[in-house]
Amino acid sequence: MAEGGFLPPEAAGREPDLAEPAGGFAPPSAATPPRPQPAPGWQPAQRQGWVPTPAGPDNGAAVLGFSLALSSVGLLIVSAGLSSVVSLALGIVGMLQGSKGKRLVRDGHTQKNKDLAQAGFVIGIVATVLAALATLFWIGIAIAVAVDEGTRRDFQQQLDDRRGEPAVLTATVVGALRLIGLVLT
């Protein structure tokens, strides 16, 4: 046994015969068509190698603005306006970040995500307006239920007659109609 604890290597075996097909695969036959040759006078293009373009600064404000504004609209739609205060905050921050992303592009700091910045700004404005309207709507419903005895009674009756989400929706619609009636009279 060798000093380091390893055995000496064994002698190599017989070399394989390359004329025999190994594993059932035959070597290519002479019937394989030859490669086409380029036309006379034509030289294949010399590859210079791929040179990556230097990465410019990112426009994270544009991406953040778009994401927040879109989240604001989505949350407002999914929650039927019940999360209007959160949607309002997301819409405002999305609009501000979209504006910052547009400013970064305009000032020449970056050219990335120009369209995303514009979309974030516009969707942020739309989300802010819709969330503000939804907030005013829900505040109006709360005031109508708190102030008007008939609205409170109708709201409570709708909740007592029906159980679950349809009752809340029906009561809200009834309250909204009563609120519109109070405003118009």
The mean pLDDT value of the chain amounts to 78
- The answer to whether residue 135 scores a pLDDT higher than 60 is yes
- Tell me how far CA of residue 150 lies from CA of 19, 59, 122, 129, in angstroms: 101, 54, 41, 31
CA distance 75 to 119: 18
**Amino acid identity at 11:** A
Mean pLDDT over 58-78 rounds to 92
- Of 139, 142, 123, nearest in space to 75 by CA: 123
pLDDT at 93: 96
CA distance 97 to 99: 5
CA distance 77 to 86: 12
Q: Which of 68-82, 112-126, 140-154 has the lowest mean pLDDT?
A: 140-154
CA distance 121 to 54: 28
Mean pLDDT over 102-116 rounds to 89
* Beta carbons within 10 angstroms of residue 168's beta carbon: 16
CA distance 165 to 158: 11
Q: What is the pLDDT of residues 7-56, one digit of tens each?
A: 777 777 776 666 655 555 555 565 666 677 766 766 666 666 676 666 67
- The answer to whether residue 142 scores a pLDDT higher than 90 is no
